[in-house]
Structure 1
Amino acid sequence: MSEEIIIAGFGGQGVLSMGKILAYSGIMQDQEVSWMPSYGPEMRGGTANVTVILSDERISSPYLKVYDTAIILNQQSMDKFENTVKPDGILLYDPNGITHHPTRKDIKIYQIEGAKLAAEMDNKKIFNMIVLGAFLKIKPIVKLENVIKGLKKSLSERYHHLIPLNKEAIDTGMKHLKKFNIEKHIIHN
């Protein structure tokens, strides 16, 4: 098993920490892991992305041009990464702020309204965990107990009291995932 993932959005959306939690979760499962962040100098509000590779075998290079999965959290990232998803791969995105929805018919496309759900849960900081939950519903490549261990490893100990809220956010993402229908979207727009 090998999963090559790009997570992309604005700095401040938890893109890098989502990737770090996935990477730690893979380590907890004795997988080979690569976590390679990329972000602009402005960080919060600028674009950020992270490549995560989880594999049962050695990883030859962390540098990728195509991905099994793209998790997209803003329009700039959609424009840049939609075409980097391998045929039959997965694109998961939050429609908030997206003006040009994906159009490829050779990949599976899903939506999660993470920003809206985080606002409903009255905590915008759990947005990334909602999105992570949606991804894990599609591809349960790491066990939930290892995600919780990954959270403990990546969060400062003073924030460990928020782990139950993060678990609730993951569960919310799993429950609210939607398959995106391109034809239906084109007809309505």
Structure 2
Amino acid sequence: MTKTIRIAGFGGQGVMLLGQILAYSATLKGMHAIWVPTYGPETRGGTANCMVTISDTPIYSPVFKDSDDLIVLNEPSYQKFKHTVKNDGFMLYNESLIHLDEQPKYQSKGVKANDLAISIGESRAINFVLLGAYLKRTNLFDEQTIIESLKYFFGSKKEHLIDVNKQAFNLGQAA
């Protein structure tokens, strides 16, 4: 099994953390994973995307052209990457900010991630709303593995944010 995932959005939306969480979760489960970040010229507000490859066998290239799955958080990223998903692939998109302008050749699902994150008082948790929805569909990892990964990346300095991200994740699972 090898899965390629592209995650794209504005800087500051949690694109990179989402990719890191997926890659680290794979390693916790004894799988191979590569995370490759790509930033636009700005850090916050500019475009950002990352590529994650997860496999049960060694990975020989960190890059790919077309992905199995696309998680897209904003309209400019949707426009840029909508044609880079394999025909049998899947796109999960932030329906709060993205309106599909054409019927994709692959499966897609919209989640009102911004609206759901705002409902728990943390607008920055849209990435975890989408992560919950993505993992509900793919069953790649369970919630406990995601929380372990989140604790690793947040450490003690951001430990107070774990509960709200867990809430966002659960909202995504229910979406």
Q: Give the TM-score band, short-chain normalised.
A: over 0.9
Q: CA deviation at 1:81?
A: 1.0
Q: CA deviation at 1:165?
A: 1.9
| Equivalent residues of 1:24, 1:153 under 8 A apart | no
Instruction: Name the CA distance, whole Å, in 2 between partners of 1:44 and 1:88.
Output: 33
Match of 2:139 in 1: 140
RMSD between superposed Cα atoms in Å: 1.2
| Equivalent residues of 1:37, 1:50 under 8 A apart | yes
**Where do 5+ consecutive residues of structure 1 fail to align?**
177-189
Match of 1:116 in 2: 115
Q: Identify which range, 152-161 or 26-35, moves more after superposition.
A: 152-161
Q: CA deviation at 1:99?
A: 4.3
| Equivalent residues of 1:82, 1:102 under 8 A apart | no
Q: CA deviation at 1:102?
A: 4.4
Instruction: Name the CA distance, whole Å, in 2 between partners of 1:60 and 1:7.
Output: 20
Looking at CA atoms only, which structure, 1 or 2, has the larger radius of gyration? 1
Count of aligned pairs: 175
Alignment of 1:147-162 (within 5 A): 147-162=146-161
Q: CA deviation at 1:60?
A: 1.1
Q: How does the TM-score come out when normalised to structure 1? A: 0.88
Instruction: Name the CA distance, whole Å, in 1 between partners of 2:61 and 2:102.
Output: 28
Q: CA deviation at 1:96?
A: 2.3
| Equivalent residues of 2:128, 2:165 under 8 A apart | yes
Instruction: Name the CA distance, whole Å, in 2 between partners of 1:74 and 1:174.
Output: 20
**Where do 5+ consecutive residues of structure 2 fail to align?**
none
Q: CA deviation at 1:175?
A: 0.5
Q: Identify which range, 159-168 or 36-45, moves more after superposition.
A: 159-168
Instruction: Name the CA distance, whole Å, in 1 between partners of 2:147 and 2:17.
Output: 13
Percent identity for Structure 1 against Structure 2 = 39
Alignment of 1:72 onto 2:72: yes
Report the CA distance shift for 1:166/1:52 in structure 2 as closer, same or farther (over 3 A). same
Q: CA deviation at 1:101?
A: 3.5
SS at match of 2:82: helix
| Equivalent residues of 1:78, 1:102 under 8 A apart | no
